[in-house]
Amino acid sequence: MNAQLPCKVIYDTDPGIDDAMALYFALAHPAIDVVGITTTFGNVTVEQAAVNALYLTAIAGRSVPVTRGVATPWCKPPEAPPAHIHGADGLGNLPHRAATSNQLDPRSSAQFIVDAARAQPGEITLVAVGPLGNLSLALKLEPRLPDLLREVIIMGGTISEPGNVSPLAEANIWNDPHAADLVFTAGWKLTMVGLDVTHRVVLPVSLFKKIADRHQHVATDTLHHAVGFYANHYGGVHPHVAEIHGCFGHDVLAFIYLVNPELFTLERGRVRVATDGLAQGQTMMRRKGVADYPQAGWGDDKPLTQVCMQVQAEACKSVLETALMGSWLSF
Closer CB to ligand BDR, 108 or 164, in the complex: 164
| 129 near ligand BDR, rule: CB under 6 A | yes
Full strand arrangement of the beta sheet holding 264-273: 66-68, 32-39, 7-13, 124-128, 151-155, 190-193, 305-311, 264-273, 283-287
Q: Kindly name the residue from 176, 215, 250, 251 that is annotated as catalytic.
A: 250
Cα–Cα distance for residue pair 222/77, rounded to 1 Å: 32
User: Nearest to residue 194, comparing CAs of 307, 317, 321?
Assistant: 307
Kindly identify the residues of this chain, within the stretch 122-151, that bind Ca ion according to CB under 5 A.
Answer: 129-130
Residues 192-231 as x/- pattern, contact with ligand BDR by CB under 6 A: ----------------------------------------
Cα–Cα distance for residue pair 319/201, rounded to 1 Å: 12
Residues 238-277 as x/- pattern, contact with ligand BDR by CB under 6 A: ------------xx--------------------------
Kindly identify the residues of this chain, within the stretch 35-94, that bind ligand BDR according to CB under 6 A.
Answer: 43
Closer CB to ligand BDR, 217 or 233, in the complex: 233
Least distance in angstroms from the C-beta of 99 to ligand BDR: 27
Cα–Cα distance for residue pair 236/85, rounded to 1 Å: 11
The one-letter code for the residue type at 24 is Y
Cα–Cα distance for residue pair 163/174, rounded to 1 Å: 10
| 105 near ligand BDR, rule: CB under 6 A | no
Binding residues for ligand BDR, total number by CB under 6 A: 13
Residues 237-276 as x/- pattern, contact with Ca ion by CB under 5 A: --------------x-------------------------
Q: Kindly name the residue from 12, 14, 105, 176 that is annotated as catalytic.
A: 14
Least distance in angstroms from the C-beta of 13 to Ca ion: 6
Choose the contact partner of 181 out of Ca ion, ligand BDR, none; CB within 5 to 8 A by kind. Answer: none
The torsion angles phi and psi of 188, rounded to 5 degrees, stand at -90, 170
Q: Is there a contact between 15 and 44 (Cβ–Cβ < 8 Å)? A: yes
What letter would DSSP give residue 78? P
The torsion angles phi and psi of 75, rounded to 5 degrees, stand at -120, -40
Q: Is there a contact between 270 and 283 (Cβ–Cβ < 8 Å)? A: no
Residue 206 contacts by C-beta under 8 Å, 6 or more apart in sequence?
245
Closer CB to ligand BDR, 16 or 36, in the complex: 16
| 158 near ligand BDR, rule: CB under 6 A | no
Q: Is there a contact between 144 and 42 (Cβ–Cβ < 8 Å)? A: no
Kindly identify the residues of this chain, within the stretch 10-49, that bind Ca ion according to CB under 5 A.
Answer: 14, 16, 19
**Active site (annotated) includes residue 250:** yes
User: Segment contacting ligand BDR (CB under 6 A): 15-23, 98-106, 204-212, 262-270?
Assistant: 15-23
| 171 near ligand BDR, rule: CB under 6 A | yes
Q: Is there a contact between 329 and 61 (Cβ–Cβ < 8 Å)? A: yes
| 18 near ligand BDR, rule: CB under 6 A | yes
What letter would DSSP give residue 262? G
**Active site (annotated) includes residue 147:** no
Biggest alpha carbon–alpha carbon distance for the chain = 61
**Pure H helices in 185-243:** 195-198, 205-215, 218-237, 239-243
Residues identified as active-site: 14, 250
Contacting positions for Ca ion (CB under 5 A): 14, 16, 19, 129-130, 251
